[in-house]
Amino acid sequence: KAVIYWMRMGDLRIRDNKALNHASAQAQKDGIPLMVLFILSPQDYQAHARGARRIDFMLRNLKSLQTSLADLDIPLLIIEETERNVIPSRLLSVCEKYAVRALFANMEYEVDELQRDISVCELAFSKGVRVVFEHDKCIIEPSVILTKQGKAYTVYSPYQRNWLSVLNSDIARYVEEYPPPTANEKCVRSLKLFSDIFESETPRSVDGFELAENDKVKMEEVWPEGEVLDRFLSTKKRSSQLGATNPLSAGSEKCSKSSRIAKYASDRDQLDTDTTSRLSPYLSSGVISSRECARAAMRLKKASKVDGDRSSGIGRWMQEIAWRDFYVNILAAFPRVCVGRPYLEKFSAVAWENPQRVGSGPADLQEDAESVQRWKRGMTGVPIVDAAMRCIDTMGWVHNRARMITAMYLCKHLMIDWRVGEKYFMETLIDGDFASNNGGWQWCASTGVDPCPYFRIFNPYSQSVKVGTGFTVGASFIAELSLQADPNGDFIRHWVPELRGVRGSDLHNPSPALADKVGYPRPIIAHSEARERALRRYKNPGDL
Ligand code: FAD
């Protein structure tokens, strides 16, 4: 007999993992072994546009977890199921084989995953297996933070204020740390039933999601598996760009004035220096929990409550963690965003240059106008956009500000359906996460909750260099976008070598003659023309 913890791709850790902790407690109570199961599902990865980098990162973490679990005499069984529809029955056949009494897992809130888990519950019920799903992805689970009318918030600021107050009103509960599982009895290894699992190895790749060897080596260097929180909290320098050396070098947990977190409130929008945590790959894959971030923030402050003051580094950083919770809430409350639909239905009819089939998931979209190809390759002729896209292509990650600039450029300058960009980011980013990515794209395309208003069409040239000429009015975060992103052009110079020798404002907006001279493309469309077209099409969705 056994208890199973079913690990999914968003909770790759053994420390502070609620379902695993509860599964372990159940196994101890019943005096039976705990085993961990992971099901590889290439069809799901395909359907949800999972990229090879994300899959490779998942496998690397699984391998290291397999070793850590083996040290506790807990077997990790990894199986592959090619037909995603049969995952529930395959899971139950595993339960039957190992005489499983109880199955534990952490909730996944996306529509396909919920439907799968409902089938699991139905099957398990018919076979007498107890099933427990836990909320573990967010600090505060979906449906807790509601408006006075009992509805989900669709505006971030009041959500965040409420989030902070609920969190601090029951801080011990929300930031509770769940200890790692208790070791199985040593003799479990000699049980014939389990011995084959201890011999199973994590595969090096999943068919259809293999990484090119040089990319694999680079990803391993830049995004090592395992926990990395301390590297953000420390004062130790990382490389100024996501560049040649590993930017996530280890350090100790201190909060001096010069640590990144201490300067986060003032520096976080700079693209040209190393200002943010770069923890998103680890949070998206669940290698660290968001609770751990909150606890670390409290430790640094030596406080018993979470600081949400946007003028302090730690407080401002916690607000970003709240954004993550916010977008998970949105997908749980408005599942239509999971199936390729805009939150603001009125923008369903916007005339994109490349109309997409509405109602399908992001993976079903057709490809690829020439302008899209140029965007993906970082050849739009707009230096800050191209730098961002080349950074994504090379590193599987780029700063939030660069994501916003390049996403808005695709939707509003090129008038390309935001779902094309959403899919490309999922395929390419190592931190690809449905809720945050969909939220980010719909914000930029002005189709989402609390979005950037449609008539704010930033000027990508002034975005990178001048103060105050991007967005100048509106909500505070829009005003913030008008701060300098790359004032000295270091970010552009790093990623766009054609422009490396260019000095001054030409770097941000090279003239046609200069572009031709240095072999850099001319812009696809002039800013004023693009702006006028976008305003027209958003104002009257359906019109060309
Ligand atoms: P920090 O600034 O150190 O923030 C700490 C953590 O807070 C992040 O790791 C992340 O988990 C969370 N966070 C920060 N900003 C946001 C945000 N705007 N929305 C939601 N959570 C946030 N984030 C992803 O994790 N996966 C994605 O696929 C993703 N796609 C995006 C697409 C677009 C178009 C945009 C505009 C944003 C997207 N984001 C995504 C959000 C954000 O860009 C990244 O989380 C952030 O850049 C990660 O860098 P960091 O870890 O250094 O963040």
ipTM entry: 0.99
pLDDT digits 0-9 by tens, 245-271: 333 332 333 445 567 788 888 888 778
pLDDT of residue 250: 29
Name the pLDDT band for 240 (thresholds 50, 70, 90): very low
Q: Kindly state the average pLDDT of the residues 192-206.
A: 90
pLDDT of residue 344: 95
Cα–Cα distances (Å) from 167 to 107, 129, 172, 304, in that order, read 20, 34, 9, 11
pLDDT digits 0-9 by tens, 112-131: 999 999 999 999 999 999 99
How many angstroms separate the alpha carbon of residue 385 from the centre of ligand 1? 18
Q: Kindly state the average pLDDT of the residues 186-200.
A: 87
How many angstroms separate the alpha carbon of residue 436 from the centre of ligand 1? 7
Query: Rounded to the nearest 5 degrees, what angle is found at the Cα of 541, between the Cα atoms of 537 and 544?
Result: 45
pLDDT digits 0-9 by tens, 356-372: 554 445 545 555 689 99
Instruction: State percent of the chain over pLDDT 70.
Output: 88
Protein residues with CB under 6 Å of any ligand 1 atom: 268, 276-280, 283-284, 320-321, 323-324, 327, 399-400, 403-404, 407, 425, 429, 431-433, 436-437, 439-441, 444
Q: Kindly state the average pLDDT of the residues 202-212.
A: 96
Nearest CA to ligand 1 atom 21: 324
Q: Kindly state the average pLDDT of the residues 219-223.
A: 93
Q: Kindly state the average pLDDT of the residues 477-503.
A: 76
Which amino acid is it at 203?
Answer: P
From 151-155, 329-333, 489-493, the region with the lowest mean pLDDT: 489-493
pLDDT of 487 strictly over 80: no
How many angstroms separate the alpha carbon of residue 400 from the centre of ligand 1? 6
From 84-98, 266-280, 485-499, the region with the lowest mean pLDDT: 266-280
CA 428 to chain centre: 11
Residue in 247, 244, 193 with CA at minimum distance from that of residue 223 = 247
Nearest CA to ligand 1 atom 28: 432
pLDDT of 98 strictly over 80: yes
Name the pLDDT band for 92 (thresholds 50, 70, 90): very high
Q: Which atom of ligand 1 is nearest to the CA of 275?
A: 52
Radius of gyration of the chain (CA): 24
Q: Kindly state the average pLDDT of the residues 192-196.
A: 85
DSSP element (H, E) containing 36:
strand 34-40
Q: Which atom of ligand 1 is nearest to the CA of 283?
A: 11
pLDDT of residue 7: 98
Q: Kindly state the average pLDDT of the residues 12-41.
A: 97
Identity of the highest mean pLDDT range in 244-248, 256-260, 312-316, 512-516: 512-516
pLDDT of residue 368: 65
How many angstroms separate the alpha carbon of residue 264 from the centre of ligand 1? 14
pLDDT of residue 234: 65
pLDDT of residue 195: 84
How many angstroms separate the alpha carbon of residue 426 from the centre of ligand 1? 13
CA 9 to chain centre: 12
pLDDT of 475 strictly over 60: no
Name the pLDDT band for 469 (thresholds 50, 70, 90): very low
Q: Kindly state the average pLDDT of the residues 309-324.
A: 93
User: Ligand 1 pocket test: which of 320, 391, 403, 424 has the largest number of ligand atoms within 8 Å of its C-beta?
Assistant: 320
Q: Looking at per-residue confidence, does 195 or 72 come out higher?
A: 72
Q: For residue 372, what are its two tokens?
A: 């899209």
User: Residue 196, Cβ neighbours under 10 Å: how many?
Assistant: 10
pLDDT of residue 460: 83
Would you say 414 and 372 are in contact if contact means Cβ atoms under 8 Å apart?
yes
Q: Kindly state the average pLDDT of the residues 176-187.
A: 95
Name the pLDDT band for 544 (thresholds 50, 70, 90): confident
Token pair 């001319």 is at which residue? 522
Would you say 26 and 302 are in contact if contact means Cβ atoms under 8 Å apart?
no
Nearest CA to ligand 1 atom 50: 278
pLDDT digits 0-9 by tens, 420-445: 999 999 999 999 999 999 999 999 99
pLDDT of 176 strictly over 70: yes
Would you say 387 and 494 are in contact if contact means Cβ atoms under 8 Å apart?
yes
Total residues found in the chain within this entry: 544
pLDDT of residue 140: 98
Q: Looking at per-residue confidence, does 536 or 251 come out higher?
A: 536
pLDDT of residue 252: 36
How many angstroms separate the alpha carbon of residue 11 from the centre of ligand 1? 17
Give the neighbor-by-neighbor strand order of the sheet with 34-40: 76-80, 34-40, 2-7, 100-106, 130-134
pLDDT of residue 10: 97
Question: What is the Cα–Cα distance from 23 to 3, expressed in whole angstroms?
Answer: 7
- Paired strand residues for 320: none
Nearest CA to ligand 1 atom 25: 280
How many angstroms separate the alpha carbon of residue 399 from the centre of ligand 1? 8
pLDDT digits 0-9 by tens, 405-423: 999 999 999 999 999 999 9
DSSP 419-474: HHHHHHHHHH-TT--HHHHHHHHHHHTT-SSSPPPTT----HHHHHH-SSSS--SS
3-state helix, strand, coil in the chain (%, to 5): 50, 5, 45
pLDDT of residue 458: 81
Question: What is the Cα–Cα distance from 487 to 401, expressed in whole angstroms?
Answer: 13
pLDDT of 543 strictly over 50: yes
From 81-85, 106-110, 469-473, the region with the lowest mean pLDDT: 469-473
Name the pLDDT band for 310 (thresholds 50, 70, 90): confident
User: Ligand 1 pocket test: which of 280, 316, 324, 406 has the largest number of ligand atoms within 8 Å of its C-beta?
Assistant: 280
How many angstroms separate the alpha carbon of residue 190 from the centre of ligand 1? 45
User: Ligand 1 pocket test: which of 404, 436, 443 has the largest number of ligand atoms within 8 Å of its C-beta?
Assistant: 436
How many angstroms separate the alpha carbon of residue 463 from the centre of ligand 1? 19
* Burial (CB count within 10 angstroms: exposed 0-12, middle 13-18, buried 19+), residue 165: exposed
pLDDT of residue 481: 41
pLDDT of residue 477: 34
Q: Kindly state the average pLDDT of the residues 33-52.
A: 97
pLDDT of residue 239: 46
From 192-201, 439-448, 522-531, the region with the lowest mean pLDDT: 192-201
pLDDT of 304 strictly over 50: yes
Name the pLDDT band for 237 (thresholds 50, 70, 90): low
pLDDT of residue 464: 66
